Amino acid sequence: MRFAIQSRNDPQSNELMERAINYLTNFGLVVDEERPEIVLSIGGDGTLLHAFHRYTHMLSEVAFVGIHTGHLGFYADWKPSEIEKLVISIAKDEFKVIEYPLLEVTINYQNSEECYTYLALNESTVKSPEVTLVMDVELNGRPFERFRGDGLCISTPSGSTAYNKALGGAILHPSLQAFQLTEMASINNRVFRTVGSSLVLPAHHKCILKPVKAEDFTVTVDHVQLLHKNVKSIQYRVAKEKIRFARFKAFPFWQRVHESFIDSDLKE
Ligand code: NAP
């Protein structure tokens, strides 16, 4: 089996990476950065985001697994002390693959046929560089609201525990094929009105954001932030691609939520 390792590049993650490479090659696995079948991410959830973006062109061929060298992560849910157990399970092919939905982001530009499409594992956000963001929100081709405020966050189910949660959005189970639209500080008074609640949209729905005046926007896709000029529209929907995770043990999502946000010592 071919494997690659993405490290957060701190001393602990790099030391663990060296150990993992030794163990895996001793079991006959081969390092292949170009065409890995399994990618080990060593660091945090942020490290797994970097690994995901490195291999977005071959998502159907690769399975990810995350080891956390800091706190427990949502994607990085293996402890460093479990490395030997993990390596043996990989070498013996003792894992199943589970898939999580992704978000497709398509940006169209004024006076141009060109458009860019990105895949997000956590979320995409839209902000206006200098002024209040003003965007018309369309759902499935129908006008829904005119948003005025700091920005909008469109997240995947697995990304719902990240930025979306900090904005007061709901946590979605990653088995749901859906995406969530959450507001950042909307202006609401007698003149300007938005729904206020987060919206959870199913896989066959589309959300399109259309600029009202300004056409330059800061758009993030996970940790990647770019300024897009002359934007005509930004379309969001559940992507047809999925991320595949190698699962070796049961660690239910709600237990990870509990251990990450409530109490790391789960009581039965
Ligand atoms: P960062 O600022 O270094 O990390 C942001 C934090 O988000 C880290 O603690 C990271 O965990 C955690 N995180 C990432 N994905 C998560 C998930 N799915 N569920 C729960 N926590 C998660 O930035 P980064 O490492 O480049 O990551 C970019 C991400 O930061 C974005 O996708 C966005 O979700 C998040 N972010 C959050 C806020 C906020 O909460 N106010 C603001 C901006 C961006 P690790 O420590 O394990 O890496």
Taking only the tens place, the pLDDT of each residue in 172-218 is 999 999 999 999 999 999 999 999 999 999 999 999 999 998 899 99
Mean pLDDT of 158-163: 98
67 and 149 belong to one structural domain: no
Q: What is the pTM of this model?
A: 0.97
The reply to whether 113 falls in a domain is yes
106 and 236 belong to one structural domain: yes
121 and 189 belong to one structural domain: yes
The answer for residues whose C-beta is within 8 angstroms of residue 197's C-beta and 6 or more apart is none
The answer for residues whose C-beta is within 8 angstroms of residue 115's C-beta and 6 or more apart is 106, 107, 108, 109
111 and 235 belong to one structural domain: yes
21 and 120 belong to one structural domain: no
Tell me which of 10, 41, 42, 45 to substitute to probe ligand 1's pocket, judged by most ligand atoms within 8 Å of the beta carbon.
45
Mean pLDDT of 243-258: 94
132 and 7 belong to one structural domain: no
Q: What is the pLDDT of residues 117-139, one digit of tens each?
A: 999 999 999 999 988 999 999 99
CATH number, domain containing residue 54 = 3.40.50.10330
CATH number, domain containing residue 106 = 2.60.200.30
21 and 78 belong to one structural domain: yes
What secondary structure does DSSP assign to 25-85, as a single string?
HHTT-EE-SSS-SEEEEEE-HHHHHHHHHHTGGGTTT-EEEEEESSS--SSEEE-GGGHHH
Q: What is the pLDDT of residues 56-67, one digit of tens each?
A: 999 999 999 999
- Nearest CA to 18 out of 36, 5, 29 is that of 5
Mean pLDDT of 75-89: 92
174 and 226 belong to one structural domain: yes
The reply to whether 266 falls in a domain is no
In whole angstroms, give the CA distance from residue 207 to residue 193.
Answer: 18
Looking at the structure of the chain, the number of domains it has is: 2
The reply to whether 188 falls in a domain is yes
10 and 69 belong to one structural domain: yes
Residue of minimum CA distance from atom 26 in ligand 1: 223
Structure-model confidence comparison of residues 251 and 206, the more confident one? 206
Strands 178-186 and 199-202, sheet pairing: antiparallel
The reply to whether 72 falls in a domain is yes
In whole angstroms, give the CA distance from residue 108 to residue 140.
Answer: 17
50 and 118 belong to one structural domain: no
167 and 216 belong to one structural domain: yes
User: Is pLDDT at 75 greater than 50 in this prediction?
Assistant: yes
The reply to whether 257 falls in a domain is yes
pLDDT value at residue 265: 67
Mean pLDDT of 221-236: 97
Catalytic residues: 45
The reply to whether 268 falls in a domain is no
39 and 154 belong to one structural domain: no
Beta bridge partners of 136: 146, 210
Residue 83 phi, psi (nearest 5): -60, -45
User: Is pLDDT at 268 greater than 60 in this prediction?
Assistant: no
The reply to whether 267 falls in a domain is no
Percent with pLDDT over 70 in the chain? 99
CA of 167 to the centre of ligand 1 (A): 13
In whole angstroms, give the CA distance from residue 33 to residue 85.
Answer: 23
CA of 126 to the centre of ligand 1 (A): 16
pLDDT value at residue 94: 84
pLDDT value at residue 249: 85
Q: Ligand 1: residues within 6 Å at CB?
A: 44-46, 49, 70, 73-74, 76, 122-123, 158-159, 161-163, 166, 222-223
In whole angstroms, give the CA distance from residue 211 to residue 33.
Answer: 40
Range of the structural domain that residue 183 is part of: 102-240
CA of 141 to the centre of ligand 1 (A): 32
Looking at the CA of residue 50, tell me the nearest atom of ligand 1.
26
Cα 248 to Cα 87, 261, 263, distances in angstroms? 10, 23, 23
Residue of minimum CA distance from atom 44 in ligand 1: 163
Residue of minimum CA distance from atom 31 in ligand 1: 222
User: Is pLDDT at 115 greater than 80 in this prediction?
Assistant: yes
CA of 163 to the centre of ligand 1 (A): 7
Query: Which residue in this structure is represented by tokens 């965007």?
Result: 135
* Widest CA span in the chain: 68
pLDDT value at residue 266: 52
CA 158 to chain centre: 6
Mean pLDDT of 81-97: 90
- One-letter amino acid at 124 equals S
The answer for residues whose C-beta is within 8 angstroms of residue 189's C-beta and 6 or more apart is none
Average pLDDT, whole number, for the chain?
95
